[in-house]
Structure 1
Amino acid sequence: MTNWRAVIVGFLLIVVLGIVGLTLPVVGQLAAGLIGGFAAGYLAGGGLGRGFWHGLLAGAFGGIVAGLLVALVVGIAGWAGGPAGGLVTGIAGVGIFAVAVIVSFVLALESAIAGAVGGALAD
């Protein structure tokens, strides 16, 4: 059974620390995923598998939010550029979507590993 409280706490940590982590572009997001995944796994407890699952969920939701924020920024930039900007950002959107999917997978996997560690330490 999924402990949604643990997933939501981990997700919120990922989002808040990810926003704060924008000052250190790559390291900040990686640290946010590790800390949020660990927290989700630790709160859920139950060993490696349960911690892995809860960290994975928290990281996946965090990755989705990160992808949506990137899409929002690109969309606003396209509006500012007028019709030509809209065309350019529309074409670039496919590549940005691919990058967002990759970032979501990386964030989910690192959070899952940290969640497994947290779940093991909770017991």
Structure 2
Amino acid sequence: MNTDWRAVGVGFILILVVGAVGLTLPVLGQIGAGLIGGFAAGYLAGGSLGDGAWNGLLAGSISGVVLTLLLSLVGGVLGLAGGPLGAFLGGAGVFLVGLFVTLVFAVDSAIAGAVGSWVKGR
């Protein structure tokens, strides 16, 4: 499988931007962001279904990891009001939710990436 880092970068940026706008629709906004960014990554990468899925998966996974790290830091800082244990529990809770978000972004972005490469190949 070939990695097209330009396509992954475009998908990553789209996921972040659409995800930020999609905060008004808590679950659907993030799933939609993963689908749009993954489709774009797969379409730009082209190639086989596997290539599109791989590039979409990378875009979704990287977005999820970055978002998880940022949210964990915010949860840890806000949890400081509860002392060291509060900071740990706040950061860990956000981290676990973030791992779930990363999984959702990765799976739907991979599927959308495969569809994107298929559409380009037609």
TM normalised by structure 2 equals 0.90
Question: Which of 106, 111, 120 lines up with 2:109 in the alignment?
Answer: 111
Gaps of 5+ in 2: none
Deviations 1:21-52 (A, max 9, x none): 11111111111000000000000001211100
Residue 49 of structure 2 aligns with an amino acid whose one-letter code is: L
Q: Secondary structure at the match of 1:46?
A: coil
Q: Which residue of 2 aligns with 1:94?
A: 92
Structure 1 residue 99: Cα displacement: 2.0
Q: How does 1:16-35 map to 2 (within 5 A)?
A: 16-35=17-36
Residue 110 of structure 2 aligns with an amino acid whose one-letter code is: A
What is the CA–CA distance in structure 2 between the aligned matches of 1:13 and 1:92, rounded to whole Å? Answer: 28
Structure 1 residue 87: Cα displacement: 1.9
Structure 1 residue 66: Cα displacement: 1.5
Deviations 1:65-87 (A, max 9, x none): 110221122123123x1xx3442
TM normalised by structure 1 equals 0.90
Q: How does 1:1-123 map to 2 (within 5 A)?
A: 1-79=2-80, 81=81, 84-123=82-121
Residue 71 of structure 2 aligns with an amino acid whose one-letter code is: V
Q: How well do the aligned residues superpose, as a CA RMSD in angstroms?
A: 1.4
Which range is displaced more, 55-64 or 14-23?
14-23
Overall identity of the aligned pairs, in %: 58
